[in-house]
Amino acid sequence: MTEQNNVQTLNQFIIQRQAEYPNASGELSRMLHHIGIASKIVNRAVNKAGLVDVLGAHGDQNVQGEDQQKLDIFADTHFIDALRASGECAAIASEEQEDMIIFDDEMGRNAKYVFCMDPLDGSSNIDVNVSIGTIFSIYHRVSKKGELPTKEDFLQEGTKQVAAGYVIYGSSTMLVYSTGNGVNGFTLDPSIGEFCLSHPNIKTPKNGNIYSINEGNYINFPEGVKKFIKYCQEKDSKTSRPYTSRYIGSLVADFHRNLLKGGIFIYPNTSKNSNGKLRLLYECNPVAFIAEQAGGLATDGTQRILEIKPESLHQRVPFYTGSTKMVEKTEEFLHFFN
């Protein structure tokens, strides 16, 4: 195996990008740097999971009524600590916290960004050695610097994201993020403990042949989704159908695969949950930002995810994301069978 020469680390990349913007003051760079640190701490725990006491239930439930796993809490705590240490974050909204966390010290009050996160995505896969992730999103606060942040800082449309991304703890660990100027992916080299640029300027295929949806919920799906699944399964040589079904059950892992290979991820509204399951602020918006930046789409079936005005921190939305042609095809079915 040949070693790659001229490896660019995440930190070198961040510094280089910052230098390209003469007015950049380094605050976002410092935040990204600290996200990298927290990711490495979570990665270390995930890697040793069976050997240290991080598996299993924590014993509490979060605000959405889900049983919290020890690793949900571990990741939540370490990302909060890292963001506090960056000194650039005024407040955090997390899946595992009912209310926003405000950093009300001098540094926090004067910081200009707020941070949304799903600290550990794919909780059901933690104990069984299947890929899990972290999802994050950064906004400029709309409240005044020097004052305490408010909920309005978080209830901004996804189009206002300054940066967004995810970490996937998979067969290798990757950090994928965008600051609105394309998408770049970094693979953690465990021998040097650095994220190294491995996937520069990721573009997702315009079309794909993978569909990802929890078909166990089929009976509760909208008619258009049922018909789209049937369409994926039919034989047609012109469109290379039938397509392949792939579903891990970790949004990050399912999305990441489809991003690189081409495909669609769907978590629709169902007759049981009229808004689906996934959360707008810290799951759908950051993933939608990456999807669009890579040339794909993300909608709730009719509307662009990034244009939805959030009403609450833990709001859920139906989610359709991936290759442009596949998302458009699904919307045709939804429209027709509405």
List residues near Mn ion by CB under 5 A: 66, 95, 118, 120-121, 123
Place of tokens 């394309």: 182
Which among ligand AHG, Mn ion, none contacts residue 109 (Cβ within 5 to 8 A by kind)?
none
Contacting residue, 251, 266, 281, 308, with ligand AHG by CB under 6 A: 251
Nearer to ligand AHG, 198 or 217 (CB): 217
Q: How far apart are CA 327 and CA 298, in angstroms?
A: 7
Contacting residue, 76, 88, 95, 153, with ligand AHG by CB under 6 A: 95
Which residue, among 117, 109, 121, 102, has the nearest Cα to 146 in the 3D structure? 109
Nearer to ligand AHG, 179 or 250 (CB): 250
Q: Is 161 in the site for ligand AHG (CB under 6 A)?
A: no
Place of tokens 């458009």: 328
Which among Mn ion, ligand AHG, none contacts residue 153 (Cβ within 5 to 8 A by kind)?
none
- Please write down the HEC assignment for all residues of 114-148: EEEEEEEECHHHHHHCCCEEEEEEEEECCCCCCCC
Nearer to ligand AHG, 122 or 185 (CB): 122
How many CB atoms within 10 Å of residue 182? 13
The pair phi, psi for residue 163, each rounded to 5°, is: -160, 155
3-state secondary structure of 235: coil
Place of tokens 């449309």: 157
Nearer to ligand AHG, 14 or 46 (CB): 46
Q: How far apart are CA 241 and CA 260, in angstroms?
A: 19
Which residue, among 296, 225, 204, 315, has the nearest Cα to 267 in the 3D structure? 225
Nearer to ligand AHG, 179 or 321 (CB): 321
Nearer to Mn ion, 14 or 138 (CB): 138
Q: Is 249 in the site for ligand AHG (CB under 6 A)?
A: yes
What is the per-residue binding string for ligand AHG in 116-155, x denoting contact by CB under 6 A?
--x--xxxx-------------------------------
Nearer to Mn ion, 143 or 217 (CB): 217
Q: How far apart are CA 256 and CA 10, in angstroms?
A: 19
The pair phi, psi for residue 274, each rounded to 5°, is: -70, -15
Q: Is 277 in the site for ligand AHG (CB under 6 A)?
A: yes
**Piece of the chain touching ligand AHG by CB under 6 A; list 38-46, 47-55, 249-257, 300-308:** 249-257
Q: Is 76 in the site for ligand AHG (CB under 6 A)?
A: no
Contacting residue, 68, 204, 250, 285, with ligand AHG by CB under 6 A: 250
**Piece of the chain touching ligand AHG by CB under 6 A; list 49-57, 140-148, 154-162, 248-256:** 248-256
Which structure tokens are listed for 316? 């859920």
The pair phi, psi for residue 150, each rounded to 5°, is: -125, 170
Q: How far apart are CA 276 and CA 44, in angstroms?
A: 32
Using CB under 6 A, list all residues that contact ligand AHG.
66, 95, 118, 121-124, 214, 249-251, 277
